[in-house]
Amino acid sequence: MRTRGSVVREVLTAPESADDWGWKARRVLSRFGSRAIPALVEALNGGEDPTIRRFAADSLGRLGSEARSASEALRHAAWHDEDPSVRDTAAAALEAVEETEPSQ
């Protein structure tokens, strides 16, 4: 049985050109919406490849407030990830996730 994170890993490591995998992965993840959050958090926390961690952070940010449950993982990555691009992406995603809707 595959773990949730392995699905993300499989999509990201598919033997396609660099331009194709990002588009295909976003397309797949858009179909799952908030159901992808646990797999994305797992990829962010445990991914060996910074490209995977950066993609996971970016995807969580694109979900916006729907991914609020991932705030702690994003905060940790923003402060502690070894890769500066992952830290930057996680910080931007955290801002998007924690952004409150304007009052009416």
pLDDT of residue 33: 83
Do you know the residue count of the chain? Answer: 104
pLDDT of residue 87: 97
> Nearest Cα to 52, choosing from 32, 69, 77, 30?
77
| Type of residue found at 29 | L
pLDDT of residue 99: 85
- Residue ranges of the chain whose pLDDT lies below 70: 1-23, 26, 30, 100-104
pLDDT of residue 50: 92
pLDDT of residue 104: 45
Q: Please write the tens of the pLDDT for every residue from 49-69.
A: 999 899 999 999 989 999 999
pLDDT of residue 12: 56
Two structure tokens written together for 74 = 């994003």
Two structure tokens written together for 17 = 């050109």
> Nearest Cα to 93, choosing from 56, 50, 48?
56
